[in-house]
Amino acid sequence: MTADIPEHAIVSVLVIDLEGLNCIEASASGFNKSGCNILSDRVGELRETIGLRVDGLDKMIRGRVTGVSDTNANVVFEFEDEAPREKRKEKRRAVRIPAQVSDPRGGVVIHAIIVDASKSGCRLDARDLDHLPDNVRMHIRGLDLPVSGRIVWRAPGCAGLELLWQFSKRAEVKGAGLGGASAVDGPGGAAGAAGDGNASGQKKTRKGASSHARAGLTGAAEETPQRADAFGPRRRSPPTPKQN
């Protein structure tokens, strides 16, 4: 970002539920290097692991929802400095999401249905998936840019797709000037702010929430020369200061 975002500022963000492939528009405040608060009447649709698209960052910020109320969610950022997860052990959720899957150049397009999803992949049901190469791009309704992926298994009428998300690293968020916290996991971060007088009106705390990093996946392709990955910077109006 070209300048620090004051912690009292409210900015527009796009929130992607990485477990259910849902997407919502929201406002974010209390931005610092540890996390932020998200405000939307749709926060109840979010599961624990999310990605945030913030104007000025080339990649999404991976986050964990640690507490929710009717319209507010507390989020702690997670970074790629932990040992990789065993993806086969990730919880899979039954969904039914229309999608279009294509080769990287868009020459072959297959209409498919996502029938289950996890943090790093999904299963597709469709005909003619054998016409696609292993490396593909997937368009999902509600997401304005495609997601890059790799087909890891195939069967008649279905295929398994690994989603190649890209997430910001700790140094990238720090260098972007997000908030004024002196340490990513310090007591002045969002995790500490969420536990203070609870100005967000938090009613529910997510179990197992942690500010420790989670490994992310790399390799998402560029949509245009101006974007670094499938969820690059968004053109947004300048942050609006919070009214006293």
For the chain, what are the domain ranges?
9-83+166-239, 87-163
| CATH among 2.40.10.220, 3.40.309.10, 2.20.28.90, 3.40.50.1100 for 9-83+166-239 | 2.40.10.220
What is the structure's pLDDT at 173? 72
What's the mean per-residue pLDDT of the chain? 74
> Which region among 95-109, 156-170, 193-207 has the lowest average model confidence (pLDDT)?
193-207
Q: How far apart are CA 97 and CA 112, in angstroms?
A: 8
What is the structure's pLDDT at 86? 55
Is residue 27 a contact partner of residue 200, using CB atoms and an 8 Å limit?
Answer: no
Q: What is the average per-residue pLDDT within 83-93?
A: 66
Is the pLDDT reported for residue 116 higher than 60?
Answer: yes
Question: Residue 39 class from Cβ within 10 Å (0-12 exposed, 13-18 middle, 19+ buried)?
Answer: middle
9-83+166-239 and 87-163 have identical folds? yes
Q: How far apart are CA 77 and CA 201, in angstroms?
A: 20
- pLDDT tens, position by position, 27-76: 999 888 788 999 999 999 999 999 998 877 778 899 999 999 889 999 99
For domain 87-163, the CATH class is: mainly beta
Residue 1 CA to its chain's centroid (Å): 18
pTM: 0.65
- pLDDT tens, position by position, 15-28: 999 988 888 999 99
Is the pLDDT reported for residue 144 higher than 70?
Answer: no
